Amino acid sequence: MWNPAQYERFRDERKRPFFELLARVDVAAPSRVADLGCGTGDLTLVLAERWPQARVVGVDSSEAMVAEATRRAAPDRVSFELADLAGWKPEAPLDVLVSNAALHWLPDHAALLSRLVSLLAPGGVLAFQVPANFEAPSHRRIDELRAHPRFAPALASVRRGHAEPLDFYEAHLAGLGLAVDAWDTTYLHVLPGEDAVLQWLLGTTLRPVLAALGPEEGKAFLELLRPLLRADYPASARGTPFRFTRRFVVAVRPGDARP
The Cα 155–Cα 212 span in angstroms is: 7
The Cα 248–Cα 192 span in angstroms is: 26
pTM: 0.91
Residue 257: its pLDDT value, please? 53
Q: In what order do the strands lie in the sheet with 32-36?
A: 78-82, 55-60, 32-36, 94-100, 120-131, 240-252, 179-191
83 φ, ψ (degrees, to nearest 5): -160, 155
Angle at 36 between CA 30 and CA 42, to 5 degrees: 85
CA distances from 28 to 15, 24, 96, 158, 193 (A): 22, 12, 11, 41, 41
Residue 75: its pLDDT value, please? 86
Torsion (CA) 11, 163, 176, 37 in degrees, nearest 10: -30
195 φ, ψ (degrees, to nearest 5): 50, 50
The Cα 207–Cα 1 span in angstroms is: 6
- The closest of 179, 182, 185 to 169, measured between CA atoms, is 182
Residue 209: its pLDDT value, please? 96
Residue 256: its pLDDT value, please? 65
253 contacts 117 by C-beta, under 8 angstroms: yes
Residue 5: its pLDDT value, please? 56
Taking the domains of the chain in order of start, what are their residue ranges?
Answer: 4-252
CA distances from 6 to 27, 64, 159, 203 (A): 33, 12, 20, 5
57 contacts 90 by C-beta, under 8 angstroms: yes
Residue 137: its pLDDT value, please? 97
Per-residue pLDDT of the chain (259 residues; tens, 9 = 90+): 445 555 555 668 888 999 999 999 999 999 999 999 998 898 999 999 999 999 999 999 999 889 989 998 788 999 999 999 999 999 999 999 999 999 999 999 999 999 999 999 999 999 999 999 999 999 999 999 999 999 999 999 998 899 999 999 999 999 999 999 999 999 999 999 999 999 999 988 999 999 999 999 999 999 999 999 999 999 999 999 999 999 999 999 998 654 4
Topology of domain 4-252, CATH: Rossmann fold (3.40.50)
Alpha-carbon 242 to chain mean position: 18
Residue 3: its pLDDT value, please? 54
Residue 259: its pLDDT value, please? 43
